[in-house]
Amino acid sequence: MLIAGNWKMFKGPHEARVFASRIRQLPELASRVDVVVCPPAVSLAAAVQGLGARSKVRVYAQNIHWELEGAFTGEISAPMVLDVGCTGTLVGHSERRQLFGETDETVRMRAETALEQGLSVIACVGETEAEREAGEAEAVLRRQVSALPRHPALVIAYEPVWAIGTGRTATPDTAQEAHAFIKSLHPTRVLYGGSVNPDNAAVLLEQPDVDGALVGGASLEAVSFEAICLAGAATVA
Ligand code: PEP
């Protein structure tokens, strides 16, 4: 069971440090859950410091470039995030795909470099509402998942785009069906993402092929993030 909080473009270094020190004991409360937070790049070091050396909460970047260094203004590299104490990274979030021109090919390159450099990877996939209504959800997932490298340190997050930040969570059956399909293509842990909150976490996380959650909005408050982690712990009791 893995619960990851994606902070998106929220929490500068000061807020990140305070929040991290608040949740640093979380895995002792929820010992059966791996807990990850994904702060913005500028707050990665502060989050690592706020958690302290003994915390089991891991800090992941939200993205990394496929080159290790070079003339890539605005990007950060795997060695840089390792240097500040991160142990993994997201790649292919739908906001990157939709707003910043991320493609299956660039997602693959970012994931491969991250894994080669020793970072864990959460690779995001998911169909848009139009694709689902056109009956193309499986074809889209097949295309996105096929681009990803096979590696024990790579997990997939199924995030239907229509459920991200909208309050429209996938039903447990829809999530289960998509997760089973993804696992038939790529056997790995699959997280669900899309408007997960303390009220719906348990029923989603109870599905047999839902191995955790990638949480956006509800990960920004310690109380709701903790509640989701505890819901995850309860499902693996
Ligand atoms: C996300 O950002 O990956 C996400 C799932 O956001 P939210 O939980 O706010 O829908």
Determine the average pLDDT of the residues in 206-217.
97
Can you tell me which atom of ligand 1 is nearest the CA of 163? 10
State whether the beta carbon of 197 lies less than 6 angstroms from ligand 1: no
136-190 pLDDT, tens digit per residue, is 999 999 999 999 999 999 999 999 999 998 989 989 999 999 999 999 999 999 9
What pLDDT does residue 132 have? 94
What pLDDT does residue 159 have? 97
Determine the average pLDDT of the residues in 63-76.
98
For residue 195, pLDDT beyond 80 = yes
For ligand 1, atom 8, which residue shows the shortest CA distance? Answer: 216
Q: Active-site residue numbers?
A: 93, 159
For residue 30, pLDDT beyond 80 = no
How many whole angstroms separate alpha carbon 136 and alpha carbon 197?
27
State whether the beta carbon of 224 lies less than 6 angstroms from ligand 1: no
What pLDDT does residue 31 have? 80
What pLDDT does residue 6 have? 98
Between the CA of 161 and the centroid of ligand 1 the distance, in Å, is 9
Q: Which residue has the tokens 């990140």?
A: 16
Residue to probe by mutation, ligand 1, list 2, 3, 8, 91, most atoms within 8 Å of CB: 8
> Which three-class secondary structure state does DSSP give residue 108?
helix
State whether the beta carbon of 164 lies less than 6 angstroms from ligand 1: yes
Distance of CA 89 to CAs 31, 60, 165, 194, 231, Å?
Answer: 22, 5, 20, 18, 24
Return the closest-CA partner of residue 130 out of 175, 161, 167: 161
Return the closest-CA partner of residue 200 out of 210, 186, 209, 187: 210
Higher-pLDDT residue of 31 and 86 is 86
For residue 25, pLDDT beyond 90 = no
For residue 67, pLDDT beyond 80 = yes
For residue 237, pLDDT beyond 90 = no
What pLDDT does residue 27 have? 72
What pLDDT does residue 212 have? 98
| 170 membership: H or E segment, kind and range | none
State whether the beta carbon of 89 lies less than 6 angstroms from ligand 1: no
Return the closest-CA partner of residue 229 out of 188, 184, 197: 197
Q: CA quadruple 189, 192, 198, 199: dihedral positive or negative?
A: negative
State whether the beta carbon of 212 lies less than 6 angstroms from ligand 1: no
Structure token digits, residue 159: 């995030």
For ligand 1, atom 3, which residue shows the shortest CA distance? Answer: 216
Structure token digits, residue 125: 């996939």
